[in-house]
Amino acid sequence: MPIMSKSPKRNELIITSWEEATNRIAFEFAYHYYDTQDCDWIADEIGGVFLINDDFWNFDRIMEVTRLEPSKKQVYAWYDHMIEEEYPLRLKAFLALKKKKG
């Protein structure tokens, strides 16, 4: 069954459901890892770049953290890595490398 349909109401419902789920994931991420609700989407674009305090998170990176559930310390180290490196590692590779070196 195709996701999009010829029914604008159905499409609107699908998009609204996705936006609600995306918002919940992003705001829960901010609360869990930053202990704050001082955050929002850049340019109100849900699913794009999420600003938490002074940190910028792409939603795909928030999803990586949500799936892998690393510690706060690991998330902060990975964020620093992403900012500092020209070609940053994905979270799973970053954690594996730290474990191997560890």
pTM score, whole prediction: 0.88
pLDDT score at 67: 97
* 3 assigned to some structural domain: no
Q: What is the pLDDT of residue 16?
A: 95
Q: Provide the pLDDT for residue 3.
A: 63
Q: Is residue 64 part of a domain?
A: yes
The verdict on residue 2 lying in a domain is no
Cβ atoms of 30 and 41 within 8 Å: the answer is no
CA 2, distance to chain mean position in Å, is: 26
Asked if 34 and 24 touch (Cβ cutoff 8 Å), the reply is no
- The number of folded domains in the chain is 1
Domain holding 90, by residue range, is 8-101
- Give the Cα separation of 50 and 46 in Å (integer): 8
- DSSP 3-state of 88: coil
- Locate all alpha helices (DSSP H) within 1-102, ordered by sequence: 8-34, 59-68, 72-84, 91-101
Residues of the chain with pLDDT under 50: none
In a domain, 1, yes or no: no
Residue type, 73: K
The pLDDT value recorded for residue 102 is 65
